[in-house]
Amino acid sequence: EIVMTQSPATLPVSPGERATLFCRASESVTTNLVWHQQKPGHAPRLLIYGASTRATGIPARFSGSGSGTEFTLTISSLQSEDFAVYYCQQYNDWPQTFGQGTKVEIK
Amino acid sequence: QVQLVESGGGVVQPGRSLRLSCAASGFTFSDYGMHWVRQDPRKGLQWVAVISYDATNTYYADSVRGRFTISRDNSENTLFLQMDSLRPEDTAVYFCASYGVGRYIAYWGQGTLVTVSS
């Protein structure tokens, strides 16, 4: 199966600052990658699909990039509601697999 | 808006069975594939199974293949997960989720907790 590795595990960021999260696949997934956001006690929510397309209702401060094995999620100016755990997931092959998550916390 | 509501979770002994349901609304259920995904604090998010829009194709994670069965009733807009021969390591919150334009997970339910313990 394709192994997804996220870094860093924890990212301390001050409100208003930029956050950059990384996701690496053990083999190419082309652009078949999504990013989900999860807040404590809640289900995940889709942010980005196709590596770079924002899902419906997702603010423009969220952007995704990358292809093949290297991907990035950027939050341009962190708002209070953005402190959460972020997961990447590949859907290029079965089984679909998730990264272990990056927790964005208040610095 | 899309709503996915899971039910059927609970506490069950090892070796026993449990059936989860997911009631879907707010979209044309019969047009979309559906997933089950589980989450526990130790292993994070784990994709479990998927079923095509017309139930002709299913795929399973190796850890559940042969024990779990995914199915759907398009007339009732409901997704199911039959879990047999349950093990302690199956303990997790189970989410149902729907396809997007592609086969990625676009919408998630709120989850139902399954605890396998004697």
Q: What is the pLDDT of residues B24-67, one digit of tens each?
A: 999 999 999 999 999 997 878 999 999 999 999 999 999 999 99
Which of the residues B105, B107, B112, B113 would you substitute to probe the A interface, choosing the one with the greatest number of A C-beta atoms within 10 Å?
A: B105
CB contact under 8 A, A46 and B106: yes
CB contact under 8 A, B61 and A98: no
Burial code (b: 16+ CB inside 10 Å, e: under 16) for A12-50 equals: ebeeeeebebbbbbeeebebbbbbbbbeeeebbbbbbbb
**pLDDT of amino acid B43:** 77
Tell me the CB-side half-sphere exposure of residue A9, using CA atoms within 13 A: 2
**How close B4 gets to chain A, by Cα (Å)?**
11
Work out the pLDDT band at B96, boundaries 50, 70, 90: very high
**pLDDT of amino acid B87:** 97
- Percent of chain B scored above 70 by pLDDT? 100
> Are the CB atoms for A24 and A4 separated by under 8 Å?
yes
Q: Using DSSP, state whether B26 is helix, strand or coil.
A: coil
Q: Using DSSP, state whether A79 is helix, strand or coil.
A: coil
For the CA atoms of A45, A47, A48, A54, the dihedral, rounded to the nearest 10 degrees, stands at 130
Phi, psi for residue A37 in degrees, rounded to 5: -115, 135
Strands A85-90 and A97-98: antiparallel
**pLDDT of amino acid B41:** 79
Residue A100 contacts B where some CB pair is shorter than 8 Å: yes
Q: For chain B, what is the mean pLDDT?
A: 95
For residues B17 and B10, what is the distance between their CA atoms, to the nearest angstrom? 11
Q: Using DSSP, state whether B10 is helix, strand or coil.
A: strand
> Are the CB atoms for B72 and B88 separated by under 8 Å?
no
End-to-end Cα spacing for chain B: 40
For residues A85 and A47, what is the distance between their CA atoms, to the nearest angstrom? 12
Which of B103 and A77 is assigned the larger pLDDT? A77
Phi, psi for residue B103 in degrees, rounded to 5: -90, 20
Work out the pLDDT band at B93, boundaries 50, 70, 90: very high
Residue B107 contacts A where some CB pair is shorter than 8 Å: yes
**Between A43, A96, A101, which is nearest B108 by CB?**
A43
**pLDDT of amino acid B23:** 98
Q: Which residues of chain A have pLDDT under 50?
A: none
Residue B41 contacts A where some CB pair is shorter than 8 Å: no
**pLDDT of amino acid B100:** 82
**pLDDT of amino acid B102:** 82
Q: Is the pLDDT of residue B112 over 80?
A: yes
Which of B103 and A48 is assigned the larger pLDDT? A48
